[in-house]
Structure formats: C-alpha cells, structure tokens
Chains A and B, each alone.
Chain A
Amino acid sequence: MSASARIQETGEAALRVTGTTGDRESDWRLVHMIARAVSVPGVPGVHSAIPTYESVLIEFDPMITSAAAMTAIVSVVLSEVDPSQPLTENPREFIVPVLYGGEGGPDLADVARTTGLDEEAVIEAHLAPTYVIRCLGAPGGSPMLDGPALPVPVPRLKSPRTHVPQGAVSLAGRQATITPAPAPGGWSLIGRTPYTVLDLAAEPLVPYAPGDVLRFRRIDEAEFDALRGMRLEATKEEAK
C-alpha cells in the first residue's frame, strides 16, 4: 500500500502530518510509523513526535533544523514505510479491573439515559471489545481507545470537572480511556479502576504503548479494595 500524507507547517517549530491513505486504520498505523521513524538519534533537532489517530505532530528545534528539512525527512519516511503492515508484531495485553457506577462512576446513569440504554447495557457494551491502544493522551499517558459500540456518541460534559481522580474510566464521543493522573476533564465517568497506571520512577512512565491491546473486567467493591494501588502490568506477551 502506498503511504500518502498531507504535511502542514504548524508554526516555525512543528509539522502536522495527516494520513491520507483513504483508510482509517492505515492512517493510524502510518502516523505512528512516522513518529517512530523521526524519533531516532539519526534525525537531528526533533524534540518529540505526538502521534494520535490520523495525524502526528512533529516538534523540532528551528535552530537545528527547519520545516523544509523536516518535510524532506518525512517524505523519505513516507516512501519507505508500509502502512498495511501491523504497527506491533507482538501486542501485549492489559486487563483493567473496573468498579462500575457508584462514587467512581457518577455519570453512568447519564450515559445510559443519553444513549437510550440501561446501565447494565452500557457496562456490557464497555466490557465487550478488545480495545487497541490508539495513542497516549493527556494527562500523563492516558491510553486512548476507540469507544464501545453505543447507539450514539457520548457528549462531553457541559461543565468540565475541575478534578477527575486517578483511575477514572471514562467515555466521550466515540472514544474511551482511563485516567492515569488526577486532572480536570469533560469526559463522562462510568467507573474506576483500583490499579495504578502511571509510575514516575519507571521508564516508560506507563506500561503500554500504542498498538497494545486492553480489556476491561468487572469487579465488585471487595475486589476493588483488595486490588487498590496494584500496578497495571501486561497479562501476557503474545507470541507471534
């Protein structure tokens, strides 16, 4: 498959590269492949690459390189990568226990009402998929997931919360995530995991990477208390 993309200057210190392969999955793989290719020591001046779903923001030091030089590098990368190839040969699997509703999931009832389902059906929908981790988001490396199959997108809260606790399990639009670090947020909270996700003493700071897979598992309050503070780890290293 040919790798085609649109390259846009984004100030004098960044490029936005958007996949234009015509296929959403290929665009996602492509922008992560570009991010990896430019985040190596052989490419001078790159501060960071932030790949998400269909685009990657490449930030660079305009003292060391330039938009023109970075565009040339991205063009070379585009000629070399194949976005039909899997992003990760051996995706790891993470299982995230969730206590749904109650104090940790105050928006579960609202999500049920907006989507025309009952709460149990929302939970079932959330438990059903094996999610692919699409990218890492703010705050602190949230695993960004394609949301569960609900009849309609979940609207963002009209008034965002000033404090969303660590471990919150949430939905917005057609997306889902868990929150590694407390932060303000406008997503709907449907549950909470007792696990700790972010480890400032570790590198990488979060145990997963884009391309890994994640499942949710329903737990009760007793199990939540028993698991509280445990670290999220890969449950299996999948052999090819």
Chain B
Amino acid sequence: MSPHLTITLAGRAAVTDLGRFRGPAFGLPVNGALDQYSARVANILVANDEAAPLIEAVAFDTAFVPSVDVLIAVTGAPVALTVDGCERPMWEPVSVCAGQTVALSSMTGGMRAYVAVHGSFAVPGLLGSCAPDTVIGFGSFLTDGGQVALNAQTAAPINPYFGISLFNFGVDRPFFGDVAYIDVTDGPDVDEFAGTSRRLFDAPYRVTPRSNHIGLRLTGSLPERVRSDEMISRGVPVGAVEVPPGDELLVLHRGRGVTAGYPVLAVVTSTSLDTLGQARPGTAVVFRRVTAEHAARDARAWRERLDALRDRVATVYSCIGAEHIVPVRSSGCLQGA
C-alpha cells in the first residue's frame, strides 16, 4: 500500500500550504497557513520546499500513525508533542517509525500548530495550491480514521533511537502570549476617518470568538468614517483593517473575500499577520503604527532568518551522513509558475 498517515484523532486539522496565489485573480481568497513563518520553518526543518503541503492543526488535539518511517517537524502554537507517548521537541526534526503514534495535545497558547513530513503529502490541488477554501468547499480536511497520502519518495528517518534528539537548530520562535503587538501601516483610505484613526493606537483591542481564517473581529474604541457614501467594490489586501457597521473592528486574514466595499483604515504587516494567525479569542491586541519601509525591512529580516536556517539544516544533514535528505533549494518565491 502506498505510504500514508492514518488519522487517529482529527481534531480540527487540514492539509494546507502557503496559499493559492493565483486565486485572487479569479475571485478566490489566497488562504493557506495563517502563520506563514511557522509553516515555512516546519518544511525547512524536514528539507521540504517551503511551499510544500503540510498539516495545520487548529486548537484541538490531533494524532496520527504513519505507515512508513518518516521525518517530521512540528512548529507553531506550543503543544505537547509525543511519539508513542515519549515527549519530543517542537521546532526540531523528529524521527518517527512506521506504526508509532504521533500526538499533538494540550495547546497552551496560540491557535495553530504545523506538522511537516519529509517528502510531503499527495493531496489534490486547485490553481496550484492544496489550501482549503471553505467558501467553495475545497480542501483535504483530516477525518477520524481517515488517511492522508504521503509522497512515495519519503526518505527513511535519520535518527530512529528513542528519546534522543540529534538536532538543536535553535529556531527563533514567534510569540504566543496574551498580548499581541501588531504593526500596521496607514491604509489608503485613512483620510476618510479624519482624526479618529488615531483611536486605533490609543488602547488595546480584544479578539472576539467571532474570529476565524477569514478575519478577526476585535472589540475596542472604533475609529469613525467621516464620509458615508457607499463605496464601489474594490480589491482589499490580506491584513486590511476595516470598520464595518456594528461595534467591532475587522482585520481581514488569508481567507478574506478579495473584494469589498469598506474603506481600508490600516494594513497589518506580513510579519504581524503571522502573530494574528496565532491570536486566540480574548487576546489583547496593541496596534503600532509603522512605515511601509519599516514593514518591508522586517519582512526581509524574516526572510534572512529562514534562509540561514535552511543553510544550517543542509549542513547538519550532510554532516550526519544523511545526504539522501537533500534540502530543496529556497526559491524565495511563493508564486510558482
């Protein structure tokens, strides 16, 4: 039988990737991993392409049994990671033998954990991406007792010994605490809120339970739009901060509809979007105003950390004689074709 994972506890998990970048031109949201940094690191640690399909497990416990020996890495929100009951580290490559049970449980902060498997998954794609799209009903969601196919070229694990981790990559971990500091740039429509746009920075907001991959709803002091004419639909970016009718601030995330008719007050930076992707209901959000140059600099620094990690991973794998696990070169480009 072809290699696969048998899902013994599905929780709320799906196979995803960095997103459907060709979707927005067709009216589909980009979707994909809400914490892109953690997803990329997971794939880098197992020498996959950063954009390779991986599991995103949201909030609930998840467990699975591989049918073949696999090398995995778990990143994102802090969970207890065990292999046949033995604790294993997150943010490092972990060897798992065929038939062992891998369990992610007791998420203590954040919202989303990522599981990458060397060789990745064989799942259906749409416009070049496997990312679930809940609106059109596409995606590979894990189900209790179900299977997820692995690509056949999955390599044998490097370190099959119980309790021993050969790896210590010391990856920078994102923040999963009770207060999220979120950098934003001024939106193109900030003038429509006149002086009230400053309210965004006056006091913390709080994430409400009516938040998901489409957008986060926050309570707090709302800026007020000065103009009231109806706006014609136009493209809105992931990260757009809007003030729709009602008493909540809306921050659009990767599942957002690509067009909308609300003015864009501010735009969350790409690095802060990862932080928001881990914000639980109840999390306090402090917005900080930055320039686009500052945001671009942060994004470049983030890219350099990932590139440096990939190089270290390649060095370690070759030093321990695991040349058969050849890291996929980073293209740095998410877009594919």
Instruction: Determine the distance from Cα of A83 to Cα of B26 in the docked complex, in whole angstroms.
Output: 22
A175 and B233 in contact, given A48-B21, A48-B23 (Cβ under 8 angstroms): yes
Stretch among A86-94, A95-103, A113-121, A131-139 lining the B interface: A131-139
Q: Are B27 and A136 in contact (CB under 8 A)?
A: yes
A11 and B239 in contact, given A47-B30, A50-B24, A63-B332 (Cβ under 8 angstroms): yes
Q: Are A47 and B332 in contact (CB under 8 A)?
A: no
Chain B interface size, as a band, is: 35 or more
Task: Tell yes or no: B86 within 8 A of A by CB.
Answer: no
Which B residues are CB-close (under 8 A) to A29?
none
Task: Tell yes or no: B111 within 8 A of A by CB.
Answer: no
Partner of A14, one of B138, B237, B303: B237
A48 and B292 in contact, given A10-B188, A61-B333 (Cβ under 8 angstroms): no
Q: Are B236 and A57 in contact (CB under 8 A)?
A: yes
Which B residues are CB-close (under 8 A) to A175?
232-233
Q: Are A12 and B299 in contact (CB under 8 A)?
A: yes
Q: Are A61 and B335 in contact (CB under 8 A)?
A: yes
Partner of A205, one of B28, B30, B232, B237: B28
Partner of B258, one of A9, A64, A138: A138
CB distance from A161 to the nearest CB of B (A): 14
Which B residues are CB-close (under 8 A) to A49?
25
Q: Are A203 and B335 in contact (CB under 8 A)?
A: no
CB distance from B152 to the nearest CB of A (A): 24
Q: Are A139 and B27 in contact (CB under 8 A)?
A: yes
Instruction: Determine the distance from Cα of A221 to Cα of B29 in the docked complex, in whole angstroms.
Output: 34
23 A/B residue pairs, CB under 8 Å, sorted by A:
A9-B292, A11-B185, A11-B237, A11-B267, A12-B296, A16-B235, A35-B25, A41-B337, A45-B335, A52-B233, A52-B235, A53-B233, A54-B232, A54-B234, A55-B235, A57-B234, A59-B24, A63-B332, A136-B26, A137-B233, A138-B27, A140-B135, A206-B26
Q: Which 9 A-B pairs have the closest CB atoms?
A: A57-B235, A138-B257, A11-B267, A50-B235, A12-B295, A48-B24, A8-B188, A141-B27, A136-B27
Partner-A contacts on B (CB < 8 A): 21-30, 126-127, 135-138, 185, 187-188, 230, 232-240, 257-259, 264, 267-270, 292-293, 295-296, 299-300, 303, 332-335, 337
